Structure 1
Amino acid sequence: MTLYKLGVLEGDGIGPEIVKATIRLVEAITEKHDVEMEWVPLLVGWKGIAEANHPLPEETKKALQDCHAWVLGPHDSASYPEEFKNIRNPSGELRHHFDLYANIRPAKSIPSIEGVVEGADLVIYRENTEGFYVDRNMYHGVGEFQVTKDVAITTGVFTRQAIERIAHAAFQKSMQRKKKVTIVHKANVIRIGSGMFLDICKEISREYPEVEVDDYHVDAMCAHVVRRIQDFDVIVTENMFGDILSDLTGELIGSLGLAPSINANQEVAMAQAAHGSAPDIAGKDLANPIGMMLSTALLFEWMSEKFGDSRLEIVGNKIEESLHRTLLDGIKTKDLGGDRGTQAFTAEVLNRVL
């Protein structure tokens, strides 16, 4: 029987609270399904600064190389000391260092959560290594500089390799879903870079003749998901557009605090809720752990495919099912209109694990 090693990076603010709540839930489920887990706690964020003088110590990155996957809580890099503000934040560095090229963000309507829209069930495949994200689009240095105090230049990077692999990931997922892919771009204005993204995605689509393909400019797409989100299934897009669009779809289903995501390549993956560290409520037992829990469910789904272990898919499904049962019983955290704190809500979810 395989022993799965998962790195634990609690992060800052509410991170330790929601990560610990998530681990409690995973442990309850894996125990019922004979899945052996080893949690590997590692330094990150303010704890890393305090104990190793860096928000992402080299020891942490080395230890992660021996893990099957890991869970990252939100970090509060905006408040770090000045010497750490000119380097990649922990999330960006992990994505860059491990080449986690696919940021995968589902947006699915949740029972008993009133969203702006209904009937959503889509997943966004966001290219995660280049585009206009200057902290990760260069081999060395940052793709942004200031010519004079009044002139700043930001470099966007688009490469065939990166576009091909995110396109393949999206089309492969579509073959498991509704066989429909929407390409989101801005080729009418960013004609070479975004045009290259569109052209290569269409080129890759010919390898998947069963898949229906359409495309939209990103500004139009934002309107379409508000008006008819039910019409979309798998969306593939560039880094910045994917970041913006996935935050929008997360809010449309009820709250960005519910939105899950993983960052992955073909070998390793990292669960990371889409929301921030909320330092104003840290330590007050007010944090909503659902986003972190659903991100970890998504991580187990990825692990199941990677390691060919159907028990891991069951673990992911059980996380989602116990959360849905809890919400259907009217039990919610305060941000969702309920009266439960982090620990009390987690206890209710644990009581509904089957």
Structure 2
Amino acid sequence: MVPGDGVGPDLMSSVQDVFQAAGVPVDFEEIFISEVQPAQSATVSAVIESFKRNGAGLKGIITTPASFKGGVLRTLNMRIRRELDLFANVVRIKSLPGFKTKHNNLDFVIIREQTEGEYSALEHESVSGVIECLKIVTEEKSRRIAKFAFDYAMRLNRKKVTAVHKANIMKLGDGLFLKCCEEVAALYPHIEYEAMIIDNCCMQLVSNPHQFDVMVMPNLYGNIVDNLAAGLVGGAGVVPGESYSHDVAVFEQGARHAYAEAVGKNIANPTATLLGACNMLKHIHLEYHSKLIEDAVHRVVKAGKVRTQDMGGYASTSDFTHAVVNSLHSA
């Protein structure tokens, strides 16, 4: 367990309370790492070693300072992803039963390549006032994420994969990504394939999101679309996410926001973190406990009596957590 910054520690406390009440047979090895609180932070190597040894974990959001103060360009998040090779980020956008938003009954998946692209940390000032940034796109990693997306669609009986790109402008970089997606799509004839330019994709998401099933895209587009799509079903507080390498799975919030302004106010919504923890339990074959907690969360949301501010209610983090605990065995 990596609590992260902002309200991360509060949300992880909520998970531990619910796990204890549900009798989940999981012990957490807790490691705090932070870029904004370096004095209390563990080393990246300690986090990497723990994830590799345990194979799975729960991670809060690690805040990345917006300003560059002469340190390394690669953030802690980027270093963790790169060293664990967490190449696939998966965010399932699913409407919560009983919680009405502009678009209801949504259920689609965003798959993001997250080890290269604009996040390669290759920037320099060529002459004063001119910054050059390198966007790295490789055939190997583009083909790998495309295959991951189609395998995911096939395994979960999804019908369509949409490749999101900007190859009309970035003809070489995004062109290579699109070419790899097209070649992989040919190997899965029973799955419908389409390509969509990122700007049109964003418009389609807010006007008719029901058309999407599985979406696959490069790093930066995925980061933006994850947050946009999370807003369709209730925001950062309700959507879980997960990242995969070949041998490690890290579960976290789908929309990455540490919500630092809410620290100490007991107002953060633990739904996304709790549902992410349920996905982790499913991953390590604790399906009974996963379903027990997931059903309890859904019952609380559907009842509508205990909702945090972001869901239009007045309940605190503690109120919501207690409601979930009380609902665990009420089915």
For 2:224 and 2:68, the matched residues in 1 are separated by: 27
- Partner residue, 2:259: 278
Q: 1:160 to 1:57 in 2, by over 3 A?
A: closer
> For residues 1-354 of structure 1, what are the structure 2 equivalents within 5 Å?
8-29=1-22, 31=23, 36-45=25-34, 49-51=38-40, 54=41, 56-78=43-65, 82=69, 86-134=72-120, 142-175=121-154, 176-273=156-253, 274-301=255-282, 303-304=283-284, 309=285, 312-330=286-304, 331-354=306-329
Supply the AA of the counterpart residue of 2:31. L
Asked if 2 retains the 8 angstrom alpha-carbon contact of 1:105 and 1:260, the reply is yes
For 2:173 and 2:144, the matched residues in 1 are separated by: 16
For 2:143 and 2:89, the matched residues in 1 are separated by: 15
Supply the AA of the counterpart residue of 1:291. A
**TM-score scaled by structure 2?**
0.92
For 2:224 and 2:36, the matched residues in 1 are separated by: 29
3-state SS of 2:246 partner: coil
What is the deviation of 1:82? 4.7
What is the deviation of 1:271? 1.2
Q: 1:64 to 1:332 in 2, by over 3 A?
A: same
What is the deviation of 1:202? 1.2
What is the deviation of 1:80? 9.9
Supply the AA of the counterpart residue of 1:42. I
**Cα deviations by residue, 1:277-321 (Å, 9 ceiling, x for unpaired):** 2222101211111121122223333x24xxxx3xx2343333322
Q: 1:342 to 1:64 in 2, by over 3 A?
A: same
Supply the AA of the counterpart residue of 2:130. V
Supply the AA of the counterpart residue of 2:100. E
For 1:219 and 1:327, the matched residues in 2 are separated by: 33
3-state SS of 2:250 partner: strand
What is the deviation of 1:184? 0.7
Supply the AA of the counterpart residue of 2:98. S
Which stretch of the first structure deviates more once superposed, 226-235 or 315-324? 315-324
For 1:81 and 1:236, the matched residues in 2 are separated by: 30
Supply the AA of the counterpart residue of 2:97. P
What is the deviation of 1:203? 0.7
3-state SS of 2:89 partner: strand
Supply the AA of the counterpart residue of 2:46. E
What is the deviation of 1:335? 2.2
Asked if 2 retains the 8 angstrom alpha-carbon contact of 1:180 and 1:213, the reply is yes
Asked if 1 retains the 8 angstrom alpha-carbon contact of 2:300 and 2:324, the reply is yes
For 2:36 and 2:169, the matched residues in 1 are separated by: 44
**Cα deviations by residue, 1:233-272 (Å, 9 ceiling, x for unpaired):** 1101111111111111100112122221111112111112
- Partner residue, 1:5: none
Asked if 2 retains the 8 angstrom alpha-carbon contact of 1:333 and 1:342, the reply is yes
Paired residues, what number?
326
What is the deviation of 1:40? 0.4
**Cα deviations by residue, 1:128-156 (Å, 9 ceiling, x for unpaired):** 1001113xxxxxxx311111222111111
What is the deviation of 1:60? 2.9
Asked if 2 retains the 8 angstrom alpha-carbon contact of 1:257 and 1:275, the reply is no
Q: How many percent of aligned residue pairs carry the same amino acid?
A: 29
3-state SS of 2:279 partner: helix
**Cα deviations by residue, 1:35-88 (Å, 9 ceiling, x for unpaired):** 63121011311697224xx564433322332112111112233289957x5343
For 1:344 and 1:221, the matched residues in 2 are separated by: 38
